[in-house]
Amino acid sequence: MKAVIQRVTKASVTIEGEKVANIESGLLILLGIVNEDEHGDIVWLSNKIVNLRIFSDDNDVMNHSLKDTCGDVIVVSQFTLQASTKKGNRPSYIKAARPDVAIPLYEAFVKQIEQDLGKTVQTGQFGADMKVELLNDGPVTIIIDTKNKE
């Protein structure tokens, strides 16, 4: 499971002209899932994300977590995070989990974030053509891969 975490001052997801998710200060999380991902990856990744100290304190030092700031979250599925670009110029997405595997894991991840954060998380729509807008704050962008835990 791979996540791109972006600290934002605002973010939204629009599908076919309709805004389906909209937040102010918080995180936009792009999530890519592979077949080998399992429940343990979900728990570890969610805990890591909600406790990352990437929000500024009163001294402008990144010392607060999402939990500390009560920030909002949007989670967007993005199979292209699992692209392989080793050969040629056309990315291969063979590592990305098919929907029958990815959807339950994606939904479980959203529920885990909600549980760890204690609030509702907004989402895009799995498999939809989404327009994602954000204002990256900092910019702060962090990539976490559960296959590189150690």
pLDDT in tens, 86-139: 999 999 999 999 999 999 999 999 999 999 999 999 999 998 999 999 999 999
Is 78 among the residues known to form the active site?
A: yes
State the catalytic residue, choosing from 6, 55, 79, 82. 79
Name the catalytic one among 6, 9, 55, 80: 80
CATH number belonging to domain 2-148: 3.50.80.10
What pLDDT, in 10s, does the model give residues 50-75?
999 999 999 999 999 999 999 999 99
Catalytic residue from among 78, 112, 123, 146: 78
55 is catalytic: no
Q: What is the DSSP letter of 119?
A: S
Token pair belonging to 62: 């990144």
What pairs with residue 18 in β-bridges? 15
CB 4 within 8 A of CB 141: yes
Strands 2-15 and 130-145: antiparallel
Q: What angle do CA 18, 105, 39 make, to 5 degrees?
A: 150
